[in-house]
Amino acid sequence: MDNFTLNIPTKIFFGRNQIKVLGRQIEKYGATRVLICYGSKRIKREGLFQTITDKLTDRGLFYTELGGIEPNPRITSVREGVRICREENIDFILAVGGGSVIDCAKAIAGSVNYEGDPWDFFLRKAAINKAIPIGTVLTLAATGSESNGNAVVSNIETQQKLAVYSPILWPKFSVLDPEYTYSVPPFHTAAGIADIMSHIFEQYFSPTPDTFTQDRLAEALLKTCLKYAPIVMEKPNDYTARAEILWAGNLALNTLLSLGREGDWANHSIEHEVSALFDISHGAGLAILFPNWMKYVMDDNNTDKFYNLAVNVFGVAESADKKAAALEGIDRLRTFYNSVGLPARLSETGVEEDSLRKMAEGAVRFGEIGEFKKLKSKDVLAILKMAY
């Protein structure tokens, strides 16, 4: 286990009716002028927008809005948000939605005080060192963006989807009410669960030795996903199941699992290339890629890790033939994704085969990817072909 510092700065308000804290939380940061960011008009139809604005108005807080933020949010929305913030002297951003809305809000928050174009941060031409505070009201269990400093944004003109990280982009607080996730349709529920599981895999498959506690924590969260996924798919309004998934999603990417070890993150780099070109759902892309990556990188030196996953999480019987058991575990992962309605092949999602090479090159634009197994462009291409 490596040295680490545990610092999870986002305050989480978890459970029914925790929205009651909203006004007071915003005021804590001395803010009086709020930009509410959201995606479709769904939050207006469902009444959540009204609930939120009532809370702000009750405390005399000014608000304005930026709606229409796309799934796989675009840099054009970030620019529009920056314009509104400057024009309206916004001093707090409230993101209401899933990872896309939250990421867009973070990028806006980090760009308001920057004179150049926000895309510079994603191209690593500049670093975010000043941001206005943000808070979130999460409506989809998936990315963990509600308590981390990452933002992933797409640029349609350049056909790129890139990530930025800054410690000052962590939301100040996040409201996680499982009831707000009841309305998530089956496909996005399943894709969110695949994203959560992928975050766990990215940290579980680590080159760092001696991570027993971290590995068992990761396995527990994976088991939560396997246990509650069929329940939320069948009964979307099951509070307990939604709550378990929501909490697992938060723990999967709030840095807890990353402590004391390096993560891999190759699958995320590859998936971002896929969704940059074809705008597919991030979680669905990961569900296609991960089993193929597992088969590609498993070798005689790392079979134990896959064997532990198979036995401890997927219930494969212990066996002297560790490789066979490990492969059975990977097959069970594939079967699980099929069972919740996720696609198994890139060809099912509209991805065109002649784009695979471009994706493979894009994935390694900043150098080799992966820490558990380092991948060059040729390796990425091989994985994409297996997944096609």
How many angstroms separate the CA atoms of 286 and 349, rounded?
12
Sign, Cα dihedral of 373, 376, 379, 383: positive
Q: Return the bridge partners of 11, or none.
A: 173
CB of 265 to Zn ion, least distance (A): 9
Residue 72 binds which entry of ligand NZQ, Zn ion, none, CB below 5-8 Å type-dependent: ligand NZQ
CB of 100 to Zn ion, least distance (A): 12
Nearer to ligand NZQ, 128 or 325 (CB): 128
Q: Kindly report the backbone phi and psi dihedral angles of residue 15, in degrees, each rounded to the nearest multiple of 5, phi listed first.
A: 120, 180
Interface pick for ligand NZQ out of 55, 242, 261, 268 (rule CB under 6 A) = 268
CB of 280 to Zn ion, least distance (A): 13
CB of 266 to Zn ion, least distance (A): 12
CB of 268 to ligand NZQ, least distance (A): 5
Does the protein bind ligand NZQ through residue 152 (CB under 6 A)?
yes
Contact 181, 247 (CB under 8 A): no
364-369 contacts at long range (C-beta below 8 A, 24 or more positions apart): 364/269, 366/124, 369/265, 369/266, 369/269, 369/270
186-204 vs 239-252: helix crossing angle, rounded to 10: 40
Contact 105, 95 (CB under 8 A): yes
Does the protein bind Zn ion through residue 264 (CB under 5 A)?
no
Q: Hey, which residues between 77 and 136 contact ligand NZQ (CB under 6 A)?
A: 97-101, 103
CB of 69 to ligand NZQ, least distance (A): 7
Q: Hey, which residues between 162 and 191 contact ligand NZQ (CB under 6 A)?
A: 180-181, 183-185, 188
Q: Quickly count: other Cβ atoms within 10 Å of residue 37's Cβ.
A: 30
Containing 339, the helix (H) or strand (E) segment is: helix 322-339
Interface pick for ligand NZQ out of 91, 177, 195, 328 (rule CB under 6 A) = 195
Nearer to Zn ion, 26 or 256 (CB): 256
**DSSP codes of every residue in 53-110:** HHHHHHTT-EEEEE--PPSS-BHHHHHHHHHHHHHHT--EEEEEESHHHHHHHHHHHH
Does the protein bind ligand NZQ through residue 249 (CB under 6 A)?
no
Structure tokens at 124: 């690593």
CB of 352 to ligand NZQ, least distance (A): 20
Residues binding ligand NZQ: number (CB under 6 A): 33
Q: Hey, which residues between 182 and 221 contact Zn ion (CB under 5 A)?
A: 195
How many secondary structure helices (H) and strands (E) does the chain include?
Answer: 15, 8
Q: Hey, which residues between 128 and 147 contact ligand NZQ (CB under 6 A)?
A: 139-140, 142-145
Nearer to ligand NZQ, 103 or 379 (CB): 103
Interface contacts to Zn ion, rule CB under 5 A? 195
